[in-house]
Amino acid sequence: MSYLIKGETCDWEVVIGLEVHCQVISESKLFSGASTLFGGEPNTHVSVVDAAMPGMLPVINEECVRQAIRTGLGLKAKINKTSVFARKNYFYADLPQGYQISQADKPIVGAGTLTLDMPDGTSRDVGIERLHLEQDAGKSMHDQDPKRSFIDLNRCGVALMEVVSDPDMRSPEEAGAFVRKMRSIVRYLGTCDGNMDQGSMRCDVNVSVRPVGSDELRTRAETKNVNSVRFIMQVIEFEAKRQVGVYDNGGQVVQETRLFDSKKIETRSMRSKENAHDYRYFPDPDLLPLIFTDELIEELKAELPELPDDRKNRYVGDFGLSPYDAGVLVAEKDTATYFEAVAEGRDQKLAANWVINNLFGVLSDRSLSITESPITAGHLGELLDLISDDTISNKIAKDVFEVMLETGEAPAKIVEDRGLKQITDTGAIEAAVDAAIAAGPNQVEQYKGGNEKILGWFVGQVMKATQGKANPGQVNKLLKEKLDG
């Protein structure tokens, strides 16, 4: 998929790398026992460690470490058997320690791969450079009082995994696909809830441009803390055009940190970008290196759930679904769970068709998630059984589906109450077929003259007479026998 920006002198391509901060699912913080629950009263989930009281010492939360290893395994990445926490020094009011405990040159996870599933059904691999563990900072609130700012330390010390991609993406669509896939993987793993609107996943977007055909990496600008897929794509579009404009006017793009204004859909310079050495990183003397045995890594690997790529391959290989349909079904874990409940012990292609072509449309019209579906997986499965055992036709099934949406009733009850059972009694169908033939001497002439399409007229007559309940296969067979005979 090529994404080009037309400049005055040449065409340009965009080079994108992402840093995704994922909040680790754990009950307590990375180095303290305080709760990580979202939405508490300000400063109620704060221990003396988080508030950086003098003499308090951090104690590593083992579950956060396991979560980071699981995520690394999910990204097919190298788990580093020795990693080191380092202090990243800077001053800000919402960082009472005066430094963030992070990881610098020895992160917990090294190089890996993430496969993008593009909307046209193709896929493409993007390199993962690393994943490291670090603490989150608190929150500054500047909008509560005209003169003062307030600080909420509830988030201070919560464990984050920062995933850094290689600069492998070349379009806003690829960056969007990267974040969606990342979110899907951590949700399958249960290592991050992926809720971008609550800040559990936030993205720093690194963008540079270069003339098409060049392989240089030019100076990039980093836009911080972008919190939706749509915004990330908007940042890239805006930045690419802005930087091409700078070069076209004979200027140079400067290395800087920018902020996104989602109302004006533009980025603005925040500060000139600091380099790693500005932070005076050094190993944290209060914490020992993390050292893992092969057994621990193997144990966590053995416990991993089936991940979206494997599940997609299984749907294609075992169920015979198209890669596109399989990709749609596995993208969200909850959707895959629903689909599997419908497909269990049934025709998987039929199940996929009904979930994708009938249910998804309704959910998107009503802005519902799959867990809010008005039709349970159990009921949809029962509807498919009624089709498979010829109790109802596909056409009647669509009507039953509509009633299920409105009433939430079981399909068998709807079919029973409304007398929708398919007529498979040969005698009854034969009577309707005979009546249709008797009613259309002209049509019989046409059919005998070689117009096979006219058969549809007879089928229509029979269906009308039986209120759509005659078994279509039997109707066709009988009509042909009688007309040909």
d(CA 404, CA 48): 55
For residue 126, the cross-strand partners are 114
Q: What angle do CA 6, 10, 12 make, to 5 degrees?
A: 60
140 versus 426: smaller Cβ distance to Mn ion: 140
Number of residues that bind Mn ion (CB under 5 A): 1
Both structure tokens of 434: 């005979």
- CB atoms < 10 A from the CB of 78, how many? 14
Q: Nearest approach, Cβ of 236 to Mn ion (angstroms)? A: 20
Stretch that binds Mn ion, among 162-170, 317-325, 459-467, 473-481 (CB under 5 A): 162-170
d(CA 186, CA 128): 15
* Of the candidate residues 50, 162, 239, 325, the single one contacting Mn ion (CB under 5 A): 162
Ranges of beta strands (E only) in 120-158 are 123-135, 139-141, 150-152
Residues 172-191 that bind Mn ion (CB under 5 A): none
Task: Give whichever of 137 and 153 is closer to Mn ion, judged by the CB atom.
Answer: 137
Neighbours of 272 (CB within 10 A): 9
Of the listed pieces 48-56, 155-163, 345-353, 365-373, which binds Mn ion according to CB under 5 A?
155-163
Site for Mn ion in 6-65 (CB under 5 A): none
Nearer to Mn ion, 85 or 247 (CB): 85
Three-state DSSP class for residue 454 = helix
Give the residue closest to Mn ion by C-beta.
Answer: 162
* Distance separating alpha carbons of residues 306 and 112, to the nearest angstrom: 18
Rounded to a whole number of angstroms, the minimum distance from the CB of residue 100 to Mn ion is 8
What proportions of the chain, in percent to the nearest 5, are helix, strand and coil? 40, 20, 40
Q: State the minimum distance, in angstroms, from the CB of residue 162 to Mn ion.
A: 4
- Min dist. Cβ of residue 359 to Mn ion (A): 39
If one asks whether residue 239 binds Mn ion (CB under 5 A), the answer comes out as no
User: Smaller CB distance to Mn ion: residue 102 or 471?
Assistant: 102
Q: What is the DSSP secondary-structure string of 6-44?
A: E-SSSEEEEEEEEEEEEE---SB-SSS--B--TTPPTTS
The stretch near Mn ion (CB under 5 A) out of 42-50, 160-168, 275-283, 389-397 is 160-168
If the CB atoms of residues 259 and 362 are measured against Mn ion, the closer one turns out to be 259
**Span interacting with Mn ion, options 161-169, 235-243, 318-326, 415-423, rule CB under 5 A:** 161-169
Minimum CB distance to Mn ion, residue 131 (Å): 11
**Beta strand pairing call for 201-211 and 11-23:** antiparallel
Report the residue number, 122 or 140, with the smaller CB distance to Mn ion.
140
Rank residues 162 and 309 by Cβ distance to Mn ion and give the closer one.
162
Cβ proximity to Mn ion, 144 vs 275, nearer residue = 275
- Helix and strand element counts for the chain (H, E): 16, 16
Query: What is the C-alpha to C-alpha distance for residues 1 and 128, in angstroms, rounded to an integer?
Result: 20
**Min. distance of Cβ 160 from Mn ion in angstroms?**
7
Least Å distance, CB 133 to Mn ion, is: 10
The least distance separating Mn ion from the CB of residue 287, rounded to whole angstroms, comes to 17
Distance CA 355, CA 21 (A): 33
> How far is Cα 176 from Cα 237, in angstroms, rounded to an integer?
12
**How far is 474 from 485, CA to CA, in rounded Å?**
16
Residues 209/13, Cβ–Cβ less than 8 Å: yes
The span of 41-49, 148-156, 159-167, 188-196 binding Mn ion (CB under 5 A) equals 159-167
Task: Give me the residues that bind Mn ion (CB under 5 A), please.
Answer: 162
